[in-house]
Amino acid sequence: MNCRYVQSRLSAYLDFELSGAEQQQIRSHLEVCMECSSEFESLRRTKQLLKQMPVVKPRSCPEQVLLRVRHSSPVASRPLFGVRWHAPRFWQYAGGLALVSALIFWGRFEDPETTPLTTASPILTYTTTPSTPLLPAVAPELSTVYRPYSPPLFRRAPYPMYEPGLMPSVSYSVDPMLGYQPVSAWNTIPPQPKLIETQR
Amino acid sequence: MTHTAVAYSMDDRSQREFDELVYRYYQQAYNIAYRLTGNAADAEDLVQEAFLRAYRFFDRYDRSMPFMNWFNRILTNLYIDEYRRRGRLRTVSIDEVYSNEDGDEGTTMDIPDSAPDPLERALSNEYREAIHEALQYLSPEFRVAVVLADMEGYSYEEIAEITKTSIGTVRSRIHRGRKQLRDHIRRRHPNLFERGDLK
């Protein structure tokens, strides 16, 4: 029995948590080994110090605990179907998952360059590239509704879920006196395509 | 749903039993919580929360087990969870502790001294504070093991049951925890360890 082995068991020896034979072996070793004996004494002293620590008196009383217990919801926060619905971490994961899936679905669409933003008549509406100035100089008679094209951050759906006219975009109406006027953030379908066709 | 029904319908007998247990063990529970958390406010919160949880799960309490063994499992689990959640885990490097250990501790063994042992007197406030502070340097698992063993007098088997670990783990935690405590206290108050012959 070497010192290293003995020293690893000293606390258990001190607490009488070893078998009878092992207790006896360590006791015999401690009688002859000063180093291990000293180590044992320091551990015994530590245990004594802890034991002598006074019991701390609480400021509160058990009635307070019982009062709180009585007024608490008796429903335990037991995991439902193995999921802790009330845990903040659950909502963190759920939020992250929702964000990732939204990005995935948002990006799974066709090229916006080849996809018209709306199904409106090209006679009344046309899009420009960003380099094109926002002036209807080319064909002012065709641009009663002028919708500047801006490249989207993400690819858009080829077949929008909603009515195309309700897709959020900024549109401008051209008034001969007032110039370009933003109509609304929620564009409506350009008006009266049939009327113009009949005029032709 | 079933649990709600059980909890609401906690009969008077169980209610009275629970009340008695709270009255009987409140101080002991608070003392353990205080030694674990290191301050009164956290200790009160911990005890309240632990009793609340004990109340909610009282129908699961196995009466063949001492109440405090069952309750301490709740309390120590709550404490360790809360400690981790707050992210204030302060670990003490064992290497550091060992490197500061002085090698001449054996020399005190041969000096006979008839002066009264400092431990025979009540521990002064200064010593108490030093020991209490040293406890806070232990990792939560070590602290739980040392507090339960040395302050509350639980056996290794009971601590293993409370902390749901093996006896070997408990033995190792207590041994390492005591050594870290000893080194910490000895650095501050070497006189507490000077009188070695207490046999």
Distance CA A155, CA B190 (A): 72
Region A72-80 average pLDDT:
52
Q: Does B74 touch chain A (CB under 8 A)?
A: no
Tokens of B171: 């033995």
**Closest Cβ opposite residue A42 in set B31, B105, B150:** B105
In this predicted structure, the answer to whether residue A17 has a pLDDT above a threshold of 60 is: yes
CB contact under 8 A, A52 and B123: yes
Distance CA A93, CA B110 (A): 64
Q: Does B192 touch chain A (CB under 8 A)?
A: yes
Measure in Å the smallest separation between the Cα of A74 and chain B Cα atoms. Answer: 6
Long-range contacts of B139-143 (CB under 8 A, 24+ apart): B139/B89, B139/B90, B139/B91, B139/B92, B140/B36, B140/B79, B140/B80, B140/B83, B140/B84, B140/B89, B141/B80, B141/B173, B142/B173, B142/B174, B142/B176, B142/B177, B142/B180, B143/B35, B143/B36, B143/B177
Instruction: Say which DSSP state B37 is in.
Output: H
Distance CA B173, CA B147 (A): 11
Distance CA A144, CA A175 (A): 8
SS3 content of chain A, % helix, strand, coil (to 5): 40, 5, 50
Mutate to test the interface with B, among A48, A50, A72 (most CBs of B within 10 A): A50
Mean residue pLDDT of chain A comes to 68
B-chain residue closest to A10, CA distance = B175
Q: Does A200 touch chain B (CB under 8 A)?
A: no
The pLDDT tens digits of the residues spanning B145-172 come to: 999 999 988 999 999 999 999 999 999 9
Mean residue pLDDT of chain B comes to 77
Q: Does B137 touch chain A (CB under 8 A)?
A: no
Report pLDDT for A25. 92
Percent above pLDDT 70 for chain B: 74
Confidence category of residue A198, pLDDT binned at 50, 70, 90: low
Report pLDDT for B120. 47
Confidence category of residue A10, pLDDT binned at 50, 70, 90: very high
Chain B contact set for A60 (CB, 8 A): 30, 44
Neighbouring CB atoms inside 10 A of A181's CB total 10
Is this model's pTM higher than 0.90 or not? no
Neighbouring CB atoms inside 10 A of A180's CB total 16
Q: Does A59 touch chain B (CB under 8 A)?
A: yes
Measure in Å the smallest separation between the Cα of B119 and chain A Cα atoms. Answer: 7
Report pLDDT for B57. 86
Could you give the dihedral angle defined by the CA atoms of residues A43, A44, A46 and A51, in that order, rounded to the nearest 10 degrees?
A: 150
Q: Which of B44, B45, B67 is nearest to B55 (CA)?
A: B67
Which residue bears the tokens 């012959």?
Answer: B197
The pLDDT tens digits of the residues spanning A85-106 come to: 666 777 888 899 999 988 877 7
State the complex-level ipTM: 0.73
In this predicted structure, the answer to whether residue A177 has a pLDDT above a threshold of 90 is: no
Confidence category of residue B100, pLDDT binned at 50, 70, 90: very low
Give the CA count within 13 Å in the CB-facing half-sphere of A157. 13
Q: Does A23 touch chain B (CB under 8 A)?
A: no
Report pLDDT for B88. 52
Region B74-90 average pLDDT:
78
Report pLDDT for A179. 57
